[in-house]
Amino acid sequence: MDCGSLLTPDREDMTEEESFEYLPHTDPATFVAEFQKSTSADNKIKFHTGTTTLGFKFKEGVIIAVDSRATAGSYIASQTVKKVIEINPYLLGTMAGGAADCSFWERLLAKQCRIYQLRNRERISVAAASKILSNMVYQYKGMGLSMGTMVCGWDKRGPGLYYVDSDGQRTLTTCSVSGLDLLTLMVSWILVTVTKCQ
Sign of CA dihedral 118, 153, 100, 98: negative
CA gap 24, 38 in Å, rounded: 19
Contact between residue 130 and residue 162 where contact means Cβ atoms under 8 Å apart: yes
Which of 108, 102, 72, 71 has the alpha carbon at shortest distance from 84? 102
AA letter at 86: E
Is 184 labeled as catalytic in the residue annotation?
no
Residue of 15, 26, 49, 51 marked catalytic: 51
- Digits of tens for pLDDT over the chain (198 positions)? 334 333 344 445 444 554 445 556 666 666 666 666 666 656 555 555 567 788 888 888 898 888 887 877 667 778 888 889 999 999 999 988 888 888 899 999 999 999 999 999 999 999 999 999 999 999 998 888 888 899 999 999 999 999 999 999 999 987 776 665 545 555 555 555 454 444
Which of 142, 63, 125, 138 has the alpha carbon at shortest distance from 90? 125
Whole-model pTM above 0.95?
no
CA gap 106, 129 in Å, rounded: 10
Residue 81 vs residues 76, 85, 140, 143: alpha-carbon distances, Å: 11, 11, 26, 25
Residue 92 vs residues 70, 140, 150: alpha-carbon distances, Å: 19, 23, 8
Q: How far is CA 108 from the centre of its chain?
A: 20
CA gap 159, 35 in Å, rounded: 39
